[in-house]
């Protein structure tokens, strides 16, 4: 071992190896079996490296010339400046479930906090293009899971991922966002506020990619295997047949994890992927009870009662007293959008009365107003 590598910590060596083209988690495992520690891999000769199964001439050349392509000092400086931690598989806080997969990340860049509670994690994923129904279901499921102490893992993407993170946060629960780019980049940019809120409220934003790595199509399947590997099960809420969420579901199945899917309309393109998953054996999922029933042995009884209350399936809920007018207006609302004119006509109340009552119901978080003076029941807070 050279003097340089002798002074290098194992954490620094892992960071360098993570930046070397062609190494990857599977080859690293084989290399560690041969050289025992990461510093020794970086100082090994090309001939010695090529004795390791799966390491050919090209990869061996990449490792022996790593100083030419990897600026380790710059990466360490960025880590320190950004107040980011690097977690390796040698660290006790490395996610327990992730250790068990075939190709666990070499390192994780972490903004925020990892927790032992993350062993009880469920992934909630789906399409970037989504419907109001899909967003409501993702938010509702994540809310129910977060409320009982389950960590909600998703990918910070538009659509279902965003709704899932928000649902967990609304429940004052814990959520982890796994991203497909460097930790210094938020993609999409509009979710920067959400990423900051996740960190501020005790969760984490996580990636295996070094600083400066741009979001790229080939990065997302790699990101998805972390999402599914981190979790005991993966719930696909809404997805077409080409959605990356189906890749996550397939990876979950290959990792020996449970796959769940929320059914959608038969005539909706955005539900074809989830409906196919159900046909292929994924568990049909309508609320968190369908998920937690598979892991009941991991949950305290109180948590099960809480999710039953949150989903309307049992337990006790605080009584919410509604006036006669509120009851009349609520009776005209369902999960589909309803125009205010239809509510007025069906309820028999005046326009002013319905408008005031809808505002009152919004304040109680029982109703949501949509663009175009449309209203729906808020499915997070009621069955």
State what percent of residues in the chain have pLDDT above 70: 90
Residue 2 has pLDDT above 70, yes or no: no
Residue 201 has pLDDT above 50, yes or no: yes
**Residues 156, 124 contacting (CB under 8 angstroms):** no
Q: What is the model's pLDDT at position 64? A: 95
pTM (2 d.p.)? 0.79
Q: Which helix (H) or strand (E) holds 68?
A: helix 66-69
pLDDT band at residue 3 under the 50/70/90 scheme: very low
Q: What is the model's pLDDT at position 87? A: 97
Residue 360 has pLDDT above 60, yes or no: yes
Mean pLDDT of 41-65: 94
Cβ-count burial 92-126 (b if 16+ within 10 Å, e if not): eebbebbeebebbbbbbbbbbebbeebebbbbbbb
Chain mean pLDDT for the chain: 89
pLDDT band at residue 301 under the 50/70/90 scheme: low
Candidate from 24-33, 194-203, 327-336 with smallest mean pLDDT: 327-336
Both tokens of 26, joined, read 């599977």
Q: Regarding predicted confidence, which is higher, 351 or 228?
A: 228
Both tokens of 154, joined, read 């998703």
Candidate from 150-164, 198-212, 313-327, 337-351 with smallest mean pLDDT: 313-327
Domains defined along the chain, listed by start: 3-81 (1.10.150.20), 97-311 (3.40.50.450), 324-377 (1.10.10.10)
Q: What is the model's pLDDT at position 220? A: 94
Residue 247 has pLDDT above 70, yes or no: yes
**Rounded CA separation 33/3 (Å):** 23
Mean pLDDT of 235-254: 94
Residue 304 has pLDDT above 90, yes or no: no
- The number of angstroms, rounded, from the C-alpha of 113 to the middle of its chain's C-alpha atoms is 15
Q: What is the model's pLDDT at position 278? A: 96
Mean pLDDT of 183-190: 96
| φ/ψ bin of 23: left (φ > 0), alpha (ψ from -120 to 50), beta (otherwise) | alpha
Mean pLDDT of 95-121: 95
Mean pLDDT of 291-306: 67
């Amino acid at each position: 071992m050279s003097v340089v590598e002798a002074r290098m910590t194992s954490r620094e060596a892992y960071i360098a190896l993570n930046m070397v083209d062609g190494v990857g988690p599977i080859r690293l495992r084989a290399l560690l079996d041969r050289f025992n520690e990461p510093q020794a891999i970086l100082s090994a000769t090309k001939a010695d490296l090529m004795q390791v199964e799966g390491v050919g001439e090209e990869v061996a050349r990449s490792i022996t010339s790593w100083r030419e392509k990897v600026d380790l000092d710059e990466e360490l400086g960025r880590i320190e400046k950004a107040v980011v931690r690097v977690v390796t598989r040698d660290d006790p806080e490395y996610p327990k479930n992730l250790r068990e997969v075939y190709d666990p990340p070499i390192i994780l860049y972490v903004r925020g906090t990892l927790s032992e509670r993350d062993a009880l994690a469920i992934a909630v994923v789906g399409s970037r293009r989504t419907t109001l129904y899909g967003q409501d279901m993702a938010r509702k499921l994540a809310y129910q899971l977060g409320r009982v102490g389950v960590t909600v893992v998703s990918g910070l993407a538009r659509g279902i991922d965003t709704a899932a993170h928000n649902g967990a946060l609304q429940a004052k629960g814990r959520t982890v966002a796994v991203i497909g780019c460097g930790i210094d980049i938020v993609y999409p940019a509009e979710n920067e506020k959400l990423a900051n809120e996740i960190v501020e409220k005790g969760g984490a934003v996580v990636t295996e990619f070094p600083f400066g790595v741009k979001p790229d199509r080939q990065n997302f399947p790699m990101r998805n295997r972390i999402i599914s590997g981190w979790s005991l099960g993966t719930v696909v809420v809404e997805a077409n047949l080409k959605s990356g969420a189906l890749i996550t579901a397939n990876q979950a199945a290959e990792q020996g994890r449970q796959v769940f899917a929320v059914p959608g309309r038969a005539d909706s393109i955005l539900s074809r992927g989830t409906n196919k998953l159900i046909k292929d054996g994924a568990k049909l999922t309508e609320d968190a009870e369908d998920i937690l029933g598979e892991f009941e042995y991991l949950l305290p009884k109180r948590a099960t009662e809480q999710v039953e209350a949150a989903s309307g399936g049992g337990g006790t809920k605080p009584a919410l007293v509604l006036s006669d007018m509120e009851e009349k207006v609520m009776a005209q609302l369902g999960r589909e959008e309803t125009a205010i004119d239809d509510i007025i006509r069906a309820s028999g109340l005046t326009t002013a009365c319905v408008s005031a009552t809808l505002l009152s119901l919004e304040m109680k978080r029982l109703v949501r107003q949509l663009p175009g003076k449309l209203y729906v029941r808020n499915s997070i807070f009621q069955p």
